Structure 1
Amino acid sequence: MNRLKTYIFLTVAIVLTGCDPELESINYDEINPSIFPSSEADVESLVIAAYHPLRGAWSDGIHTTSENGLMFVLDATTEILQGNYAVQQEATLHRYNPTTTGVTRFYDTFYNKISAMTLSIDRIANSDVNENIKEQGIAEIRCARGLLAYELFDMYGPLVIAPLEILQNPLEEAPLARLSHEEMVSFIETDLLAAIEGLPTPEEATYGRFSQGLARMILIRLYLHEKRWGDVLTQANAILDMGYYELEDDYVGLWDVEAPVDSREVIWAIPADYAGTSENQWQLMVLPSNFPERGGWGTIQSSWKFYDSFEEGDIRKTNLIAEYTGTDGVTYNRENPANYMQLGPLPLKIAADADRSTGLTTVDIIQYRFADVLLSKAEALANMNGGGTQEAIDLVNIVRERAQIPPLELTGHTDIDSFNTMILVERSHEYWCENGQYRSDLIRHGKYVEYANDLNGVSSESAPYKVLFPFSLERISEGKGAFLQNPGYN
């Protein structure tokens, strides 16, 4: 594996905007396919452009750790995060509707990136570049397209996916309908399966870029979404058979200021820097202004319900901060929360990076880890069997052992309801404030509305249709009757 940490997102800034006055910004929707791409460097430019919307940037990176990012909003719909204003409150109370830009913006900002990737794939395929370069370039873009399509599908349901012939004739007005559910799943699945063939193995992949392991991991998430347990098992076993991934001994250390470039647990992480090319803003989001050494904006908290769900000694709640002494000399905790911890503890997750005066940090944004493979396989085995099995419990216990808590016994988890309740707890404890997929886990097991109502009581505005987010009124209007809103929002 290439151990050099490559700041691929800095390359994006250079390619797309440039700082030399002789370098012109490239509009990939207007370039002449007869002359571009014509070299390996051209293909690399198109590949890097596909990574661009997937980075952590406040304005146009879907994995920003700010209020404009998936993790922030998705975890805020669960007991993991709570907010008392703005989009975080709307997410917490399930108060979102078609005018809630904090949730509709993800589709509005990123759906056209899928079209851009489609054009890039076609241009590379029809170029005269070396076949090996073409194959890997197309594989990376298909993985990016499959990942982005999955993330938007998970939020909104089926999307509009513009066919290549429509994209090649942009002056022809052609309002498009959303795909059917089956077509949407097939689109994502086809992309990821094809990507596997051209992507490097985990050993060969450059840190921060896609590998076969990631494509299979996203397939696992897609198959979990669809409850295709046999396919989950197939992909989990394929990852295990690679013989590469393993759990780190130090769970907390994965989110230290030293990037986990050599970690065999990390399936994909987004490199972060201080320049804002791909930034990690989580301290700013979480830490109150009076936090010692390094304050923030205090925009989000966890919930005491979530904090209390951890077993004593579980190291996974180490950076779920339940008490601190502020710069004002006052100690804040559950008994004396003021306006800083009235909803719950501070969900820092990552290292405080206290030596930095800037609001940003270089703690990388980990998206997928090997622990998810183990718990996904366990869930698939149990649901295929109709109840817990010893093999499934053993897989869960591998993750719990690293968390330094006692192993579970099969007794008490033999029926499927008790097993799935347990696996939801383990998923929330293992993946809080990572990729926001716990919301999808709750939905899969029919607990999304129930948990929201239990957390928020009479303030909850949850309802069964809230398992999907709404589209903006602008997108519905543009569709001219072809683009239909999700049920419940009309």
Structure 2
Amino acid sequence: MNRITISILAAATLFSAGCNPDLKSLNYDEINPSIFPTSEADVEALVIGAYYPLRGSWSNGIHSTSENGLMFVLDATTEILQGAYGIQQDASLHRYDPTTTGITRFYDTFYNKISSMTLSIDRITNSEVNDNIKKQGIAEIRCARGLLAYELFDLYGPIVVAPLEVLQNPLVEEPLPRLSHEEMVSFIEEDLLAAAEDLPAPEDAVYGRFSKGLAHMILIRLYLHEKRWNDVLTQANAIMEMNYYDLEDDYVSLWDVEAPTKSREVIWAIPADYAGTSENQWQMMVLPNNFPGRGGYGTIQSSWKFYDTFEEGDIRKTYLIAEYEGTDGVVYNRSNPGNYMQLGPLPLKIATDESRNTALTTVDIIMYRYADVLLSKAEALVNANSTVTEEAIDLVNIVRERANISLIELADYNDIESFNEMILLERSHEYWCENGQYRADLIRHEKYVEHADDLNGVASESAEYKTVFPFSLERISEGKGQFKQNPHYN
């Protein structure tokens, strides 16, 4: 733990809309905790280290838009995405076990980043740096730690979180058990509540970095996970009372090549570049090799079942491509899918990047938007009181009106079951191929297995215990009896 490597190039890319090709990578190696950090630049380096695993890199960024990223795999466990091979097929069929590395890798690759963040917080706390710099740096790292811990918790259930005293004695081997459910929730909650206090307001935050809005947004996701409806309302109201966020008039433009750096809808986005430090590979993943002008690998499709759930004229399916003429002159669609659309349309979501002769793109990776606040509050209002209200309907209609579809009426959704079915559908339409959280939405409403079985029929291998992923055999072995596998995966 005394060797921390931080890429300044990666940070510069994350925190700006562009990329400077003249930037050089600098390494902080053999850090001595007794003398580091001693300056604002040192604190910034530690903060950058906390952002590093959250970027969009194929090799070690959890928000990669490839098969190594959360969105790809998590949406593939739902009707939003399907695959004919690889981890995308395993995810679609819910065919995963402790040997499925495409599933277990998220914990294996990223759990120790939480420990690194814990050490960074301690080092900043005990430094002689200006208190305001300390406060800001610790807030960003606690937000990063809370976000990453929430994402792993959402995938696997409670995880191992090493206490500081263990991390400060790395030569002493001490296998640790996973936290209890209550301890895990409290750990995430405390980080995010503390971060929300000291992070900058959204209007003051640098694009690509954390703000109070994001800390409240991740708390919403945590409280939705726990069905703590009144706490969801508290966090949603906190965001709305900032009087900063609003929906963009043009939904589709959010995923244009020009970064939405001034958008009042974006709560957090990860800037993408061509340098490979935080890249957006989605165009390459989705587009077939015969797609005109922008051929890719064609690794993933949506499902026709999902496509058919959209209402006529819904602008949110603009880049859910149901037909194209290939470079071979053949028109591919549902009736003539070839090997390119046999499962469903092409889920591009983002604009094609015409400026480069490559399937990579600089379209930024949008993680959280204000629309999520509105739909989360609507869901919480109804489920907190087991009553569908006009206020909840109005919140949903704000999102639907922007989508250019008809408004719903209270009379059509006046019971909690029909409302929850509707809100799930709205979530899938609004957030497909963004942050992968639709899987958690289905699990929350006990629809995860049902939707998988409905999509895949007799090929489905879904089961209730698969609402959490397995840990790898390596992690179980390392735990020496202290680290317990999730039920039914032994």
If the length of structure 1 is used for normalisation, what is the TM-score?
0.96
Deviation (angstroms), 1:349: 0.1
In the alignment, what sits opposite 2:138?
138
In the alignment, what sits opposite 1:478?
478
Hey, which bits of structure 1, 4+ residues long, moved more than 2 A? 6-12
Q: Distance in 2 between matches of 1:163 and 1:153?
A: 17
In the alignment, what sits opposite 1:70?
70
The answer on whether the counterparts of 2:13 and 2:272 sit within 8 Å (CA) in structure 1 is no
Distance change (3 Å), C-alpha of 1:150 and 1:81: same
Q: What is the percentage of aligned positions where both structures have the same residue?
A: 79
In the alignment, what sits opposite 1:428?
428
Deviation (angstroms), 1:359: 2.5
2:28 is matched by which residue type in structure 1? I
The answer on whether the counterparts of 1:266 and 1:368 sit within 8 Å (CA) in structure 2 is yes
1:260 equivalent to 2:263? Answer no
1:8 is matched by which residue type in structure 2? A
User: Match of 2:411, SS?
Assistant: coil
User: Match of 1:411, SS?
Assistant: helix
The answer on whether the counterparts of 1:193 and 1:215 sit within 8 Å (CA) in structure 2 is yes
In the alignment, what sits opposite 2:356?
356
In the alignment, what sits opposite 1:127?
127
1:293 is matched by which residue type in structure 2? G
Q: Distance in 1 between matches of 2:463 and 2:12?
A: 39
Structure 1 residues 218-367: aligned runs within 5 Å = 218-367=218-367
Q: Distance in 1 between matches of 2:439 and 2:213?
A: 23
1:378 equivalent to 2:378? Answer yes
Deviation (angstroms), 1:358: 2.0
Listed as ranges, the gaps of 5+ residues in structure 2 are 1-8
Q: Distance in 2 between matches of 1:318 and 1:138?
A: 41
Q: Distance in 2 between matches of 1:7 and 1:388?
A: 46
The answer on whether the counterparts of 2:274 and 2:361 sit within 8 Å (CA) in structure 1 is yes
User: Match of 1:145, SS?
Assistant: helix
Deviation (angstroms), 1:412: 2.4
Q: 2:28 aligns with which of 26, 40, 43?
A: 26
Q: Distance in 1 between matches of 2:12 and 2:96?
A: 32
The answer on whether the counterparts of 2:63 and 2:71 sit within 8 Å (CA) in structure 1 is yes
Q: For each residue in 1:314-342, what CA deviation from the matched residue of structure 2 results, as whole angstroms up to 9, or x when unmatched?
A: 00000000000000000000000011000
1:454 is matched by which residue type in structure 2? D
The answer on whether the counterparts of 1:9 and 1:277 sit within 8 Å (CA) in structure 2 is no
Deviation (angstroms), 1:171: 0.4
Q: For each residue in 1:435-472, what CA deviation from the matched residue of structure 2 results, as whole angstroms up to 9, or x when unmatched?
A: 00000000000000000000000000000000000000
User: Match of 1:484, SS?
Assistant: coil
Q: Distance in 2 between matches of 1:194 and 1:332?
A: 52
Deviation (angstroms), 1:7: 7.2
User: Match of 2:268, SS?
Assistant: strand
User: Match of 1:465, SS?
Assistant: helix
Deviation (angstroms), 1:11: 7.7
Q: Distance in 2 between matches of 1:251 and 1:154?
A: 28
In the alignment, what sits opposite 1:84?
84
The answer on whether the counterparts of 1:387 and 1:419 sit within 8 Å (CA) in structure 2 is no
2:391 is matched by which residue type in structure 1? E
The answer on whether the counterparts of 1:9 and 1:52 sit within 8 Å (CA) in structure 2 is no
Deviation (angstroms), 1:234: 0.3
In the alignment, what sits opposite 2:438?
438
The answer on whether the counterparts of 2:54 and 2:62 sit within 8 Å (CA) in structure 1 is yes
Structure 1 residues 395-406: aligned runs within 5 Å = 395-406=395-406
Deviation (angstroms), 1:295: 0.3
Q: Distance in 2 between matches of 1:353 and 1:52?
A: 25
The answer on whether the counterparts of 1:80 and 1:428 sit within 8 Å (CA) in structure 2 is yes
Distance change (3 Å), C-alpha of 1:11 and 1:286: closer
Deviation (angstroms), 1:185: 0.2
In the alignment, what sits opposite 1:112?
112
Higher alpha-carbon deviation: 426-435 or 358-367: 358-367
Q: Distance in 2 between matches of 1:426 and 1:114?
A: 33
1:401 is matched by which residue type in structure 2? E
Q: Aligned pair count?
A: 476
If the length of structure 2 is used for normalisation, what is the TM-score?
0.96
User: Match of 2:455, SS?
Assistant: helix
2:433 is matched by which residue type in structure 1? C
User: Match of 2:302, SS?
Assistant: coil
Distance change (3 Å), C-alpha of 1:337 and 1:112: same
Deviation (angstroms), 1:355: 3.0
Deviation (angstroms), 1:9: 4.5
Q: For each residue in 1:267-292, what CA deviation from the matched residue of structure 2 results, as whole angstroms up to 9, or x when unmatched?
A: 00000001111000001000000001
Q: Distance in 2 between matches of 1:179 and 1:9?
A: 35
The answer on whether the counterparts of 1:387 and 1:413 sit within 8 Å (CA) in structure 2 is no
Q: Distance in 2 between matches of 1:123 and 1:7?
A: 22
The answer on whether the counterparts of 1:11 and 1:48 sit within 8 Å (CA) in structure 2 is no
The answer on whether the counterparts of 1:252 and 1:316 sit within 8 Å (CA) in structure 2 is yes
Q: Distance in 1 between matches of 2:487 and 2:104?
A: 15
1:469 equivalent to 2:469? Answer yes
Structure 1 residues 444-459: aligned runs within 5 Å = 444-459=444-459
1:34 is matched by which residue type in structure 2? S
The answer on whether the counterparts of 1:62 and 1:68 sit within 8 Å (CA) in structure 2 is yes
Q: Distance in 1 between matches of 2:125 and 2:214?
A: 23
User: Match of 2:366, SS?
Assistant: strand
User: Match of 2:410, SS?
Assistant: coil
Q: Distance in 2 between matches of 1:199 and 1:280?
A: 27
Q: Distance in 1 between matches of 2:402 and 2:128?
A: 50
Q: Distance in 2 between matches of 1:116 and 1:466?
A: 29
In the alignment, what sits opposite 2:11?
8
Q: Distance in 1 between matches of 2:10 and 2:400?
A: 34
Q: CA RMSD in A?
A: 1.3
In the alignment, what sits opposite 1:173?
173
Q: Distance in 1 between matches of 2:411 and 2:257?
A: 41
The answer on whether the counterparts of 1:158 and 1:179 sit within 8 Å (CA) in structure 2 is yes
Deviation (angstroms), 1:31: 2.2
The answer on whether the counterparts of 1:9 and 1:55 sit within 8 Å (CA) in structure 2 is no
1:26 is matched by which residue type in structure 2? Y
Deviation (angstroms), 1:360: 1.4
Q: Distance in 1 between matches of 2:355 and 2:12?
A: 24
Structure 1 residues 153-192: aligned runs within 5 Å = 153-192=153-192
Q: For each residue in 1:338-362, what CA deviation from the matched residue of structure 2 results, as whole angstroms up to 9, or x when unmatched?
A: 1100000000000011331123111
The answer on whether the counterparts of 2:14 and 2:55 sit within 8 Å (CA) in structure 1 is no
Distance change (3 Å), C-alpha of 1:7 and 1:247: farther
In the alignment, what sits opposite 1:3?
none
Q: Distance in 2 between matches of 1:412 and 1:480?
A: 55
